[in-house]
Structure 1
Amino acid sequence: MKNPEDIIGLFAHAWADRDAQALAGLFAQDAEFVNVVGLWWHDREAIRVAHAYGFDMIFGDSTLSFVESRSRRIGDSAAVVHGKWKITGQVAADGSVAGERCGIFTFVCEKLPAGDWQVVAAQNTDIIHNAESIAVIDGQSVPSDYR
């Protein structure tokens, strides 16, 4: 990546191509990645394996698009990039097509000595409409609104 903000387009492109190798290649060898349900991968290979599985089993016909992004440089060699996304075409566990989801990615990027950028950490968070938090009720996480 020539700029940290490039992560938004490059991630979406790798997703569209179902290219887990290219997607993982955006990350440092020892990168951290936390997905929307708290699964936590600790290196590039684990990120690749998880996304290859996702493309095969869950997201094979999906469309991911980023609808908004913001970035903030932290000195000359670090940046945080946020991208609001939506996804359609996900396959539900029963094989049906799931409804549209949206969420926010947080990417932490570092500048390499040669001048390119890479992702060192990412966290993906679903947006749950009409909820302020999650409550565990009878062992199940339930979106909750306290207003």
Structure 2
Amino acid sequence: MIAPIVTKPEDIPVLFVEAWNLRCADYIADLFEENADFVNVVGIWWDNREAIRKAHDYGLTVIFKDSLLKLGKVKVKHLSEDIAVVHARMQLSGQSDLHGKAGTRNNMFLFVARKHPKGWLCVSAQNTDIVIGAETHIKREDGTLQAVDYRDRKN
């Protein structure tokens, strides 16, 4: 095991960011239970620790090899003594781009954590992009997604 023992659930995003910036997929995987789930920003769903490790190993060596992940606000909601939901704002820069330079992305992580005798582990995680000024997406006929805001629309 590479990751340190997680003594409180709010440490999970802290350690996730550290592991990401070290480009260490094994460290990321160690934060998860064996049968954990992880859903990425485009809805790809991995359903065990090894799949999570493999996906992050690929991502950190190809897509995000020069990236920097920064942690923002973290909020914990305890559902019980041994179950917690952790929301964490993050910012990602330096993503590899196929055509030029990629911009900085803001995202929201949701971690569901369970307390074990040797510390907290993540049961499930989901990563979502934050799209400033948008309420939802519309899928266009050509298959592209467009961020939209209905608030100023006249009915």
For Structure 1 versus Structure 2, the TM-score category normalised by the shorter chain is over 0.9
SS in 2 for 1:52: helix
Give the aligned partner of residue 93 of structure 1. Answer: 98
How many Å separate the matches in 1 of 2:80 and 2:118?
A: 14
Q: Which runs of 4+ in 1 moved over 4 A?
A: none
How many Å separate the matches in 2 of 1:98 and 1:106?
A: 24
1:116 and 2:98 are equivalent in the alignment = no
Give the aligned partner of residue 79 of structure 1. Answer: 84
SS in 2 for 1:4: coil
Consecutive unaligned residues of structure 1, counting only runs of 5 or more, are: none
Give the aligned partner of residue 128 of structure 1. Answer: 131
- C-alpha displacement at 1:93, in angstroms? 2.7
1:103 and 2:107 are equivalent in the alignment = yes
1:143 and 2:147 are equivalent in the alignment = yes
SS in 2 for 1:143: strand
Structure 1 length normalisation: TM-score? 0.95
**Identical aligned pairs, as a percentage?**
43
How many Å separate the matches in 1 of 2:54 and 2:118?
A: 28
1:31 and 2:39 are equivalent in the alignment = no
Consecutive unaligned residues of structure 2, counting only runs of 5 or more, are: 1-5
SS in 2 for 1:23: helix
Larger radius of gyration: 2
